[in-house]
Amino acid sequence: MKKFIMWSKKSLIIALLVMVLILPLASAVSDVAYLYKKSIRIDQNVITEFNSLGLSVDTIQENKITTTDFSKYKIIFVGDELFSNPSKIPVGQRPTIISNYYHGAVFGLTDNDGISQLANNKPLNVNKNSQIIQVYTDAFYQAGVSLAIPYYYLSDENKAPGFTKTAGTYTGNTGLDIGDVVSYAFKGAQLVNGKTLNNKVCFYGLETIKNGKRSSDYWTPVAKQMFEECVEFTGSQCSSDSECNDNNTHTQDTCLNPGTVNSQCVYQNITCITDSECNDNNQRTVDQCVNANTTESYCMTTEVNCLYNSDCGITGFIEENFCFSDDVYRDFQNSTCINPGTLQSHCDIEVSPRLIEQCSEACSDGQCVNIICYNDNDCSDSNAYTKDTCLNPGTITSQCTYQDIACITNNDCNDNNAYTQDTCKNPNTPQSYCEYNDIECITDIDCDDSSYLTADICLHPGTITSQCTHTPIECVYDADCDDNNSSTADSCLNSICHNDLIECFTNFDCGVNSQSELFCSSSNVVQNSTNYACLNAGTKNSYCTQNTQTNILEQCNDVCSNGQCVDIICSLDSECNDDDARTIDQCANPGTTSSFCRNTEVNCLNDLDCGVTGYIEKNFCFTNDVYKKYQNSTCINPATLDSYCVISVIPIKTQECDDNNGETYDYCAPIQDDGAICEHDFIQCSEDSDCGTTQLANEFCKGNDLWGNYSVPNCSNPG
């Protein structure tokens, strides 16, 4: 059964022990101003929560409230204690968190009925968004002590209308939500005391202090989360950009980190919104606002290209006369300003040639002139050995030139020398000249070098590419080829010497007869004999031959190995019999020189080799009967290499302990050093009535009630 305790008035006992702690003022202002009267009432858990959110905390005693500049703090925290001058606390002047039970009416949170509180003999819950959430880990501050952990709430009947419920009370499955445990009020909200909030206020009823005990020691994670949400609500400077409006059209108002304690309004200047704000009163510039109405806006002043036609240049004849189509012309310029005075303004300049004078023959350097020649014929001097040329024909720079020609044909170059070739190069041109190239020979006689050991020949006779060749002849006779080497045969063949090596003169020049090491061939010991011979000895056709013959030296009875006869140990398993029934006799590598006998002992010949078959060890108890182990020993694959023993042991009942007597309890009992036996004990009782009846033993008082002790018979281990 749940039991709820509610107080509508402030009725907690103020602690008798008052300790005054004077704290030094911090040199730097922190984020949170924690207001307190007595240092023992400071809740370190609350400070820890502020710190975990990155907020520093200054503790400010009540007597320092009037001298403290609270505008430097993000949040004011009012803890749960009875202040002497609560009206001095600037509630709502700065963002404020109130966890105070005593001054609800003074602060304007409630009417004169004040703040209410709720406790239970079970851990308290709140109703948040239709979810029932446990906020304390225990119902009492201490086990066995009746001081329950309460929470505070703003009663729906008493609270200021500007407060909005975030978490409400919960009094059980059928209980009503009767007030706000956590409640928010925004700037501008009306308080019961007639004041208007200048900043946000959060009422947080889960921070209670009773007899020095703190509810924050029992906060659940959700309770901590609701405290952090309360801090975020009050400590946030802004939740959206609209809350940062400074009514200045030339700033961009932004909320950074919206809805958090680190939120802040940032104002960035806007240079211009319209083009008119950028006017520099210069008609030769176009004034524009770039990125208008943004923080990136700026004024851009751009000079126009032109205002008037005269800005683009003169209109009339320009530069000097020039020649065109053999007549005299001059350029005429017409200058026009298109879209004058705008960014699209530009100059349109048209230049066109106009005829000044028509020439009868030609025009040069802007004036009429005469032409000297039109083609080469106009320059002819009737001399075949000159080239007559009209340069720049038909132009004012035309002129006649005359260049000498050295030769027209090869005959013009004849020097009457049969051993030169006379040539006219580039004939009938000013670049012509005579060239004389020597002819080395006309016949082979011109090439005789007086040596009988050379062949003298005239190549390409009678031409400028003719040349004499003198090819050496190596020999005419065999004697010309003597190399003074007795080991060669010297001869002259087609004027070429041949000195052929004589391979051998005697049989010894071909090698020494020899015999090999002994080796095996089939089952025989054999040896190779090698003999050498010189054929056509002492001539260039001499050559060596060799003959190798294999001779059988010994025939082996078994096999031959490494040039000698060897015996075979065994060829069959039967040759390895050791007459021992407990071994398997085998011939390894049968019929080879590496054969040998192997005699391997088997694991078992019969079942006896594996152990006894019958009862073993002592009697023992099992399922309240006497049992004994029975062993069965078997030899598998007896007398083979695959033989092995299989031993199985099973329990067999040797004595049934049930004597079929309903008056006895039958069981198996172990006997030290002697196995087990059956026991039969008589039964004292089968049910409680076998032991007597229930009787009143004595009577006594407990509170305002009469109590009695009864003697109740009991049959232990019935049956």
Tens of pLDDT, residue by residue over 74-86, are 999 999 999 999 9
What local confidence, expressed as pLDDT, does residue 26 receive? 39
Cβ atoms of 62 and 83 closer than 8 Å: yes
What local confidence, expressed as pLDDT, does residue 492 receive? 86
Q: CA 328 to CA 317: how far, in whole Å?
A: 14
Cβ atoms of 670 and 620 closer than 8 Å: yes
Q: CA 254 to CA 237: how far, in whole Å?
A: 11
What local confidence, expressed as pLDDT, does residue 34 receive? 98
Q: CA 440 to CA 451: how far, in whole Å?
A: 20
Q: For the chain, give every domain's residue range.
A: 4-235, 309-369, 507-566, 609-681, 684-719
What local confidence, expressed as pLDDT, does residue 174 receive? 62
145 dihedral zone (left: phi>0; alpha: psi -120 to 50; beta)? beta
Cβ atoms of 405 and 413 closer than 8 Å: no
The listed CATH number (1.10.3210, 3.40.50, 1.10.3470, 3.30.1490) that belongs to domain 4-235? 3.40.50
Q: What Rg do the C-alpha atoms of the chain give, in angstroms?
A: 68
Q: What is the pTM of this model?
A: 0.41
> What DSSP designation does 198 have?
S
Cβ atoms of 365 and 357 closer than 8 Å: no
φ/ψ of residue 49, rounded to 5: -65, -40
Element (H, E) at 46: helix 44-52
Strands (E), 174-297: 179-185, 201-204, 209-210, 213-214, 251-256, 264-269, 285-290
Handedness of CA 83, 84, 86, 88 (dihedral sign): negative
List C-alpha distances in Å: 428 to 109, 381, 402, 434: 130, 16, 13, 12
Q: CA 342 to CA 335: how far, in whole Å?
A: 17
What local confidence, expressed as pLDDT, does residue 28 receive? 59
What local confidence, expressed as pLDDT, does residue 244 receive? 87
Mark the ranges of the chain whose per-residue pLDDT is less than 50: 1-27
